[in-house]
């Protein structure tokens, strides 16, 4: 497994982050945080999809106070996203936030940063310094002419220094831009320059499709280098999609401690005589959020007898399509013929049996 073992390990609620701990996947609610019911409901959906850490926007004291009510209804590590006003950060820490995302540079006077650092230290709450290419300081923009990777790293390390001066070291850094190449370079520079755990991702990446591709390239390249301790796939889409994508990236790299279900299926092909695209999509949807408890389960959903039996025998189980029907395989053996409309239920029943769950 690829991990960057040398990062400082911190704790976010009950989760270890950095120092060789499994890479965690996070997303951000798009509800109004003061709407506790809506926020808790969305957190439930995120958890079901495999979210490890949830961030919530905390733009005012009303939202900070709602953290306590949300805290009572979920055990997920909660990150309060705060800008500008140190009093909101203090209120969120008091209300039970597990981590605070701030930019010390926009909190203002040094004494305000110190108050936040002291409160976070006393509460055992880490701080993420979230540097973003879109909100780089005017001084750094002028110095570098653009939000370059070097500018992002200088900003992050400069802000970390503000906290270090307060003897605060439970710091997570993120250095995001909407450019894949700049993001990769910024994180590589940061990884070489410090041992703080890194929250990785490509930000403002665009709609679901391009956001997914940008992040898969950026996050994938970094993780393959052993860089990254927690990740967010930023997409202009339902946050649940961000979690699915994040888990899939980890799974593809063999880094998901929950491992999961790997689906092997055919590309479009004129030979198939079942609705292969629809079947594979519905099966994938049905598998979303199933915790395989560390097991890697490979399922083949194949269109015909050309490559179908070979792939299905190589998988834990699978099907090879026929004419409105399929042959079902398990552990390399042909088991039986099934009708097309039985494929998904059969495969799901096999997944559940493989992880020791009883069929519903």
Q: Which is nearer to ligand SF4, 108 or 337 (CB)?
A: 337
318 counts as binding ligand SF4 under rule CB under 6 A: no
308 counts as binding ligand SF4 under rule CB under 6 A: yes
Binding residues for ligand SF4, rule CB under 6 A, total: 11
What is the smallest separation between the CB atom of 343 and ligand SF4, expressed in angstroms?
Answer: 14
What is the smallest separation between the CB atom of 281 and ligand SF4, expressed in angstroms?
Answer: 15
Using CA atoms, how far apart are residues 78 and 72, in angstroms rounded to an integer?
Answer: 11
Using CA atoms, how far apart are residues 255 and 23, in angstroms rounded to an integer?
Answer: 7
304 counts as binding ligand SF4 under rule CB under 6 A: yes
Using CA atoms, how far apart are residues 276 and 105, in angstroms rounded to an integer?
Answer: 53
Residue nearest to ligand SF4 (CB): 303
Task: Point out which span in 206-214, 249-257, 277-285, 300-308 binds ligand SF4 (CB under 6 A).
Answer: 300-308
Helix (H) or strand (E) run with residue 163 in it: helix 149-164
110 counts as binding ligand SF4 under rule CB under 6 A: no
What is the smallest separation between the CB atom of 308 and ligand SF4, expressed in angstroms?
Answer: 5
User: Which residues, 6 or more positions from 22, have their beta carbon under 8 angstroms from its beta carbon?
Assistant: 3, 255, 256, 257
Give yes or no for a contact between 46 and 31, defined as CB atoms under 8 angstroms apart. no
Give yes or no for a contact between 135 and 184, defined as CB atoms under 8 angstroms apart. no
Q: Which is nearer to ligand SF4, 27 or 272 (CB)?
A: 272
Q: Which of 31, 178, 272, 292 binds ligand SF4 (CB under 6 A)?
A: 272
String marking each residue 131-150 x if it binds ligand SF4 according to CB under 6 A: --------------------
Paired with 300 in beta bridges are 264, 318
Smallest CA-to-CA distance from 22 within 274, 241, 231 is with 231
Q: Which is nearer to ligand SF4, 236 or 334 (CB)?
A: 334
The phi, psi pair for 73, rounded to 5°, reads: -105, 0
Task: Point out which span in 150-158, 169-177, 253-261, 304-312 binds ligand SF4 (CB under 6 A).
Answer: 304-312
What is the smallest separation between the CB atom of 245 and ligand SF4, expressed in angstroms?
Answer: 25
183 counts as binding ligand SF4 under rule CB under 6 A: no
The phi, psi pair for 322, rounded to 5°, reads: -125, -145
The phi, psi pair for 336, rounded to 5°, reads: -170, 170
Give yes or no for a contact between 263 and 277, defined as CB atoms under 8 angstroms apart. no
306 counts as binding ligand SF4 under rule CB under 6 A: yes
Give me the residues that bind ligand SF4 (CB under 6 A), please: 266-267, 269, 271-272, 302-304, 306-308
């Amino acid at each position: 497994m690829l991990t960057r073992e040398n990062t400082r390990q911190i704790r976010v609620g009950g989760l270890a982050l950095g120092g060789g701990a499994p890479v965690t996947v996070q997303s951000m609610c798009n509800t109004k945080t003061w709407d506790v019911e809506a926020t808790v409901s969305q957190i439930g959906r995120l958890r079901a999809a495999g979210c490890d850490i949830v961030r919530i926007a905390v733009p005012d004291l009303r939202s900070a106070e709602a953290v306590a009510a949300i805290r009572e209804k979920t055990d997920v590590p909660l990150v309060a996203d705060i800008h500008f006003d140190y009093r909101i950060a203090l209120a969120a820490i008091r209300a039970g936030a597990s981590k605070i995302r701030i930019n010390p540079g926009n909190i203002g006077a040094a004494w305000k940063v110190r108050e936040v650092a002291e409160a976070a230290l006393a509460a055992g709450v880490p701080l993420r310094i979230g540097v973003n290419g879109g909100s780089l300081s005017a001084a750094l923009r002028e110095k570098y002419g653009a939000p370059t990777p070097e500018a992002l790293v200088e900003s992050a390390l400069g802000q970390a220094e503000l906290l270090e001066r307060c003897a605060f070291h439970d710091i997570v850094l993120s250095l995001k831009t909407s450019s894949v190449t700049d993001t990769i370079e910024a994180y590589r520079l940061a990884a070489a320059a410090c041992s703080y755990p890194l929250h990785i991702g490509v930000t403002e990446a665009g709609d679901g499709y391009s956001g997914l591709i940008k992040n898969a390239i950026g996050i994938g390249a970094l993780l393959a280098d052993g860089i990254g301790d927690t990740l967010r796939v930023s997409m202009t889409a339902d946050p649940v999609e961000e979690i699915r994508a994040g888990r899939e990236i980890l799974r593809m790299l063999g880094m998901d401690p929950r491992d999961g279900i790997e689906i092997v299926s055919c590309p479009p092909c004129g030979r198939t005589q079942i609705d292969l695209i629809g079947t594979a999509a519905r099966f994938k949807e049905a598998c979303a959020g199933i915790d395989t408890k560390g097991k890697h389960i490979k399922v083949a959903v194949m269109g015909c007898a050309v490559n179908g039996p070979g792939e299905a025998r190589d998988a834990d189980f699978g099907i090879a399509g026929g004419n409105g029907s399929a042959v079902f395989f398990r552990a390399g053996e042909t088991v039986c013929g099934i009708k097309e409309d039985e494929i998904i239920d059969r495969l799901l029943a096999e997944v559940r049996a493989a992880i020791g769950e009883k069929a519903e």
